[in-house]
Amino acid sequence: MLFYFTKLVFVNSKIRNDTKFKIMAQFKDFWDWFYEHRDAYFYLTDFTEQEQAFYYHEINSRLKDYHEDLNYVLHFAADGQDAELILTANGSADGMLFVSNLMRFVPYIPNWQLTGFIQPTLNLEEIKHGADAPYCFKDLSIKPSALRWAPVDFNMGKYDLMFHLTPFSLTGKVSDTDILLDYIYLILLDLLGELVVSTKIGAGYYDSVINSDTDWYRLEELPAYLDSGEFFP
């Protein structure tokens, strides 16, 4: 995180000290505000829909003031556990600099876990054995274990991948390939984590038919393939 902060704030030695402190203060301001409203967000599910909409708008607006790609994920407390606020840039390189800087000033807030970037959460063994839970989107449901992928190119340290969903696994239908790839991207974020997706995944494509000339792999094999640093289509 210090690397990003240095790159963003101190890369220009001519920047005046008061400007540096002003930028630092802006990052702290967000956490001061969240600390002040921590209980409201902790118990947000107890509020009316109108009140919830207000608080969702507030945090979204404040993050957008830093960068348009900044977003958040809220995990509400359950069974005595802490609630969690995840700051994310959804893989945007520019936005990720701001997430890193915000996390540099993250305070301790009781009953809250504060996380920078979406972290890997999917269980590879569950995917391997088909015991994974489906992702329920607006127009269809997708089980990660139903995803197949194939490497198609390797450029500037990033892998371009082709994806396929086994037809029998789909519940619902989506005709727009771009929307389907957006859904797959969300699954990849939970599989690999935001940092890995942004640094190792390039373009994504979708093929509705499995080509026998292509070697297809199961989703649980993707993390090891990316770690290998090799390209073998």
- Long-range CB contacts for residues 186-189, cutoff 8 Å, separation at least 24: 186/135, 187/122, 187/135, 187/142, 187/144, 187/147, 187/219, 188/222, 189/90, 189/91, 189/118
Residue 43 DSSP one-character state: T
Which pLDDT score, from 0 to 100, does residue 5 have? 33
Q: Using an 8 Å Cβ cutoff, are 56 and 63 in contact?
A: no
Q: What amino acid occupies position 183?
A: Y
CA distances, 78 to each of 13, 45, 54, 116 (Å):
47, 12, 23, 21
3-state DSSP assignment of residue 87:
strand
Domains of the chain, residue spans: 2-116, 124-228
For 25-83, how does the pLDDT look when each residue is reduced to its tens digit (9 = 90+)? 889 999 999 999 999 999 999 999 999 999 999 999 999 999 999 999 999 998 889 99
For 177-197, how does the pLDDT look when each residue is reduced to its tens digit (9 = 90+)? 888 999 999 999 999 999 999
Number of helices (H) and strands (E) in the chain: give both, helices first. 9, 10
For 102-112, how does the pLDDT look when each residue is reduced to its tens digit (9 = 90+)? 999 999 999 99
Rounded-to-integer distance, Cα 219 and Cα 79, Å: 31
